């Protein structure tokens, strides 16, 4: 067995200009809607990481002709809302919770039976949050102990419901919206907090009407998606690692071009600015329905803060690297209201507390968050727990540690940022990938 590790060494400063891969959330959705649209969809900026490729391969398995990715371009020959075919095999979502939860909503409305599975990590993640509303809509879904695999009985006539979200979740909301494309009557979703709105914006891109009344979304099945051209901005979740790196390494000054700044995703910018970071958004512009900008980040000393709970859904994927920033800040940083972090690819609260302690930082896990006392990062060995965002976060920590930091089990970085090490080197970060052969 081959185990991929990172070794990250201290640097004096980072400088330069980079781009980051296309947004993962938008890449998933562009494949889904392009596949069930009438006509051809051309996607530019597609993220060809393992997660989005799992979604792409799922639709190929359901009879959709998809060309690419070729230099981040994908061409989809849509089959329309009712043109999907029964896959010959179980659909493997790999490590991708987005693939599984969104596909569950779509497959619940198809005429054929289907089953969704995934890797060891995905099979531990909670799925009642999607099976519950889908069952209310009339779907027949089987899961065991609230976890995958998901077995879906086809041929069920779905009905529109009014679902009040128990917590902010873009994946659950998107799952219900996808089922709502096929349900009889109106489907209404009332949100209790802000969550990513890429699905709603993507529906507009594909000429499918979705309405919002205050905090309630309304959709019905009377329309069709129409093929279109999609331009995907850089993923702010990938940019986050270098935003933090430039903020904590003295003397740094970098530019990250063409980054998505959807207001439901910019929690990391708000949090770091409150901590004292020097971040400037340049040339803000619209790319389709999404807003993008070039980000200029210069080093600035950070201070600990109490992170407001309303920031949680706006920065849910960026918290691991935000915790690295907190470890380098003066004073204490606390976060509450983030229990969702315990149900990601790993328990990210436990993983970050464990790793920070090994690097000499005082950190404490809370039931729904974390407390970090800023200090001096030391070298050491940390375990990523197979979680791509944990791995990349501690790779950034190594840039300011007193000695090199080794991060174990980093192969899953390929799910979201296949060229992470190469991009880091463009900024003179010293991150190397090594491979251990274990019998």
45 is annotated as contributing to ligand binding: no
The single-letter DSSP state of residue 22 is B
160 is annotated as contributing to ligand binding: no
50 is annotated as an active-site residue: no
125 is annotated as contributing to ligand binding: yes
Residue 405, strand partner residues: 8, 380
Phi, psi of 135 (to 5 degrees): -65, -40
Q: Of 317, 367, 403, 436, which residue is the catalytic one?
A: 317
Evaluate whether 93 touches 58 at the Cβ level (below 8 Å): yes
317 is annotated as contributing to ligand binding: yes
169 is annotated as contributing to ligand binding: yes
Which residues touch 302 (CB under 8 Å, ≥6 apart)? 247, 248, 272, 275, 276, 277, 325, 326, 328, 329, 330, 374
97 is annotated as contributing to ligand binding: yes
348 is annotated as contributing to ligand binding: yes
286 is annotated as contributing to ligand binding: no
296 is annotated as contributing to ligand binding: no
CA distances from 404 to 185, 283, 362, 395, 413 (A): 59, 37, 19, 10, 19
25 is annotated as contributing to ligand binding: yes
Classify residue 309 as exposed, middle or buried by CB count within 10 Å of its CB (0-12, 13-18, 19+).
middle
CA 347 from chain centre, in angstroms, equals: 15
2 is annotated as contributing to ligand binding: no
Question: In which order are the strands placed within the sheet that holds 211-213?
Answer: 162-164, 187-190, 216-219, 211-213
Evaluate whether 213 touches 246 at the Cβ level (below 8 Å): no
362-366 and 332-335 strand pairing: unpaired
Annotated binding-site residue numbers for phosphoenolpyruvate:
24, 97, 125, 171, 348, 389
Annotated binding-site residue numbers for 3-phosphoshikimate:
24-25, 29, 169, 171, 317, 344
Annotated binding-site residue numbers:
24-25, 29, 97, 125, 169, 171, 317, 344, 348, 389
Catalytic residue annotation: 317
């Amino acid at each position: 067995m081959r185990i991929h590790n990172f070794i990250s060494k201290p640097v004096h400063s980072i400088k330069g200009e980079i781009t980051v891969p296309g947004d993962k959330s938008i890449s998933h959705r562009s494949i889904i809607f392009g596949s069930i649209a009438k006509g051809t969809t051309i996607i530019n900026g597609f993220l060809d990481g393992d997660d989005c490729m799992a979604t792409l391969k799922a639709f190929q398995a359901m009879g959709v002709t998809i060309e690419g990715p070729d230099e981040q371009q994908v061409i989809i020959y849509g089959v329309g809302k009712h043109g999907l075919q029964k896959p010959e095999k179980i659909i493997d979502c790999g490590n991708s919770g987005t693939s599984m939860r969104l596909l569950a909503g779509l497959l619940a409305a198809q005429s054929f039976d289907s089953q969704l599975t995934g890797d060891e990590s995905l099979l531990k993640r909670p799925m009642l949050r999607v099976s519950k509303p889908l069952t209310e809509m009339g779907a027949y879904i089987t899961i065991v102990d609230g976890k995958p695999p998901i077995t879906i009985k086809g041929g069920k006539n779905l009905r529109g419901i009014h679902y009040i979200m128990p917590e902010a979740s873009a994946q659950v909301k998107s799952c219900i919206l996808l089922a709502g494309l096929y349900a009889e009557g109106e489907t209404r979703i009332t949100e209790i907090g802000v969550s990513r709105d890429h699905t709603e914006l993507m529906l507009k891109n594909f000429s499918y009407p979705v309405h919002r009344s205050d905090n309630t979304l309304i959709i019905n099945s009377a329309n069709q998606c129409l093929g279109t051209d999609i331009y995907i901005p850089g993923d702010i979740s990938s940019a986050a690692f270098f935003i933090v790196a430039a903020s904590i390494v003295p003397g740094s000054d970098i530019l990250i071009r063409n980054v998505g700044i959807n207001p439901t995703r910019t929690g990391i910018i708000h949090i770091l600015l409150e901590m004292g970071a020097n971040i400037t958004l340049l040339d803000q512009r619209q790319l389709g329905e999404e807003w993008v900008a070039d980000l200029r980040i210069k080093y600035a000393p950070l201070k600990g803060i109490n992170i407001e709970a309303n920031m949680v859904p706006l920065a849910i994927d960026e918290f691991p690297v935000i915790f690295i920033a907190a470890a380098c800040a003066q004073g204490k940083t606390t976060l509450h209201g983030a229990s969702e972090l315990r149900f990601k690819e790993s328990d990210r609260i436990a993983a970050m507390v464990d790793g920070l302690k090994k690097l000499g930082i005082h950190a404490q896990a809370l039931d729904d968050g974390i407390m970090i006392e800023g200090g001096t990062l030391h070298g050491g060995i940390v375990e990523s727990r197979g979680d791509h965002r944990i791995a990349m976060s501690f790779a950034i920590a190594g840039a300011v540690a007193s000695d090199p930091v080794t991060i174990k089990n980093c192969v899953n970085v390929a799910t979201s940022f296949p060229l992470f090490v190469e991009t880091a080197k463009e900024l003179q970060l010293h991150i190397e990938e090594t491979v251990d052969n274990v019998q």
